[in-house]
Amino acid sequence: MHSFNYLLPALFWNVSQPTYEDLGNLSTGGSLGLGQVTTATLRSEPGFQPSFTATFLHGEDYLTIDPSDGISRPGLSGIVIPDDGSVPFQMQASGIQYPDATLASIVATNKTKGLAIPYGAVYSGKKKMWVPTFRGGSEKYANLQNSIFVASETVSDSPNANEFYVGMKISKVFATNTSVVIGDEFP
């Protein structure tokens, strides 16, 4: 069996977000929610190029929730302002999230309960993934726009009422160079 892809740690996104707001029902029977990002930073992991730190502004996560199974689909968008004064660029992220009682308690509460969900453990062991993309910016940041990324998330409540924290480890996807051709994939 061959591995056709591998991941390289690339970025870390750290967010403070107010409690999730339910915006109501959709014509499909699902619901629409909004998470507005109040403060956030984006920085590169050690060894990743381009190396930078930045502020994430004007972030909003409109997510839809399916009525039958509770699966949500985030729709995040915001502006990244590099600390080096380079041209700002856009960050978007989509994905799939399975329902989880601990996550629901963190997002819906107005009080600190000491709850946290570690990376990789969210959503009852089911598959969950974010797919961040980047657009625009100076030549220094072209690598972000011309790459594919996946991300894993952690969520915890905050000592501040009406707020919770989100951390996202973002990895760049690379194809593995193999000698496998069509017809040889399955020995």
pLDDT in tens, the chain (187 residues): 557 888 999 999 999 877 678 899 999 889 998 988 888 999 999 999 999 999 999 999 998 988 888 788 889 999 999 999 999 999 999 988 877 777 777 777 666 677 887 776 654 455 577 899 999 999 999 999 999 999 988 888 888 777 888 889 999 999 988 888 888 777 6
Nearest to 18 by CA among 35, 31, 32: 35
Q: How many whole angstroms from its chain centre is CA 117?
A: 14
- So what's the pLDDT on residue 121? 61
Cβ-contact 52, 89 below 8 angstroms: no
Q: Are 78 and 90 in contact (CB under 8 A)?
A: yes
Q: Provide the whole-model pTM.
A: 0.87
Secondary structure letter of residue 97 according to DSSP: B
Domain positions in the chain are 5-175
pLDDT given for residue 116 in this prediction: 82
| Residue showing tokens 């930073």 | 41
Q: What is the pLDDT of residue 123?
A: 47
Nearest CA among 10, 8, 17, 6 for reference residue 154: 17
Fold held by 5-175: Porin (2.40.160)
